[in-house]
Amino acid sequence: MTRDKYYQSQGPEQTAISADQDCFPPFFEAVLTPYRSMPKSGLAWLLAVTAAMAAVSAAFMAAVGLWFAPLLFLLPVGALWLAFHSNFKAAQAYEHVRVSPFHIHVTQVSGRGHQTEVQVNPLHTRLVVRRLEDEGVTHIFLVAGNQRVSVGSFLNPADRTSFADAFVAAIQTAKSDGLAVYSRNAI
C-alpha cells in the first residue's frame, strides 16, 4: 500500500494532518538484510569442485560397467545448486524501518519481491522484545491495536539484540520528545 493510498483512505481532515507530518523526516532509519556468508563466486567454486569429484567417480563407475551410476552422481550437484539458489533468493529479502515523531513505517520485502507496508502512530504502539538469557533477543514485535508485525526475524541473535536496543530507544524518543529532536538539530 502506498503512502498516498493510506492517507486517502483516512478521510479529508486526516489527509491534511498527514501531509503536514510528512515534512518531518525520520530521525531513525534502518535497512535490515539477512546475512549470507557465501558469495555467488563461492557457490560457483563449490559447485565446480563437487561436479569434478562427481565426474571422477562417475567415470570410474562407467568404466566398471555401471552405466546408470553417472546419472546418480548428478543428483548431489543438482541438489546443492537448488538449495543455494533458493538461499540466494531468500537473501534478497529486506526490511526498511523508519521512525519519526508522527509515525513508524515498516516496509517488508520478501525474496520474491512481495512488499508489505505497515504505518502506525508511535504514541499508540508497543514494542514487544522477547529475550532469552543465553541467546539474547529472540523476537521483536511491533504491536498497535490489532496489528502485530514481526521485525528483524531473519537477523542473527547478536544483530537482533543491537537492533532491538536502537529501535526501543528510537520509539521512546518519538513518544517522549519526538519534535524536540528537530529543534535540537536546528540549533
Distance, CA of 141 to CA of 168 (rounded, Å): 11
Residue 130, beta-bridge partner list:
139
pTM of the model: 0.69
pLDDT in tens, 124-165: 888 899 988 888 888 999 998 888 999 998 898 889 999 999
Q: How far is CA 135 from CA 124, 141, 156, 160, in A?
A: 29, 17, 10, 10
Query: What is the reported pLDDT for 17?
Result: 41
Q: How far is CA 166 from CA 74, 122, 156, in A?
A: 48, 15, 16
Query: What is the reported pLDDT for 12?
Result: 38
What CATH number matches the domain at 3-34+94-186, 2.30.29, 1.10.3470, 1.20.120, 2.40.50? 2.30.29
Query: What is the reported pLDDT for 15?
Result: 38
Query: What is the reported pLDDT for 23?
Result: 61
Residue boundaries of the structural domains of the chain: 3-34+94-186, 40-90
Distance, CA of 154 to CA of 34 (rounded, Å): 6
Q: Which residues of the chain have pLDDT under 50?
A: 1-20
CB 160 within 8 A of CB 170: no
Query: What is the reported pLDDT for 97?
Result: 94
